[in-house]
Amino acid sequence: MPNLHAIEIKAFVPARDYEVSRRFYADMGFRERSEFEGVAYFALDECSFLLQRFYDQAHADNFMMHLLVDDAEAWHRRLVEQDLVGRYREHNVRMTAPADRPWRMRDFHLIDPSGVLWHIGHNIG
């Protein structure tokens, strides 16, 4: 059997308003590395995803991303300091406070302009 090696995996994140979502993710700290025909490639360190000009409410309302970071408190503080929620309030962006979870993670939730739920956290214990 050949030795198979996976390089990476990316999710296609839906965008209700593609341009608003592109700005949102750039403001969140991701770098847009390329864009072609309604698909933008965003990356931050070793993490990346594809934002797509596609929206189906049922899909977006059930779509979740998990971003493992080294310090959830610092991430939350930075997003609060830059008023990310306030700047995108008209697009229904929301964020919870960090909390410890029974599965030994400290995380917070961030809902993007399309309704995608992000879990941003670090391992504890």
The CATH number linked to 114 is: 3.10.180.10
Tell me what the mean pLDDT of segment 11-21 comes to.
98
Structural domain boundaries, residue 25? 12-123
Instruction: pLDDT band for 1, please (50, 70, 90 cuts).
Output: low
62 to 10, 21, 43, 57, 111: CA distances (angstroms): 17, 17, 22, 9, 11
Q: How many domains does the chain have?
A: 1
Whether 76 is in a domain gets the answer yes
What is the reported pLDDT for 86? 98
109 to 15, 73, 99: CA distances (angstroms): 18, 12, 10
Whether 109 is in a domain gets the answer yes
Q: What is the distance between the alpha carbons of residues 54 and 60, in angstroms, rounded to a whole number? A: 10
Residues 6 or more apart whose CB falls under 8 angstroms from that of 67 comprise 47, 118, 119, 120, 121
Q: Is the pLDDT of residue 102 over 90?
A: yes
Query: For the chain, what is the mean pLDDT?
Result: 96
Q: What is the pLDDT of residues 24-76, one digit of tens each?
A: 999 999 999 999 999 999 999 999 999 999 999 999 999 999 999 999 999 99
Q: What is the distance between the alpha carbons of residues 26 and 82, in angstroms, rounded to a whole number? A: 12
Q: Is the pLDDT of residue 113 over 70?
A: yes
Q: Is the pLDDT of residue 89 over 70?
A: yes
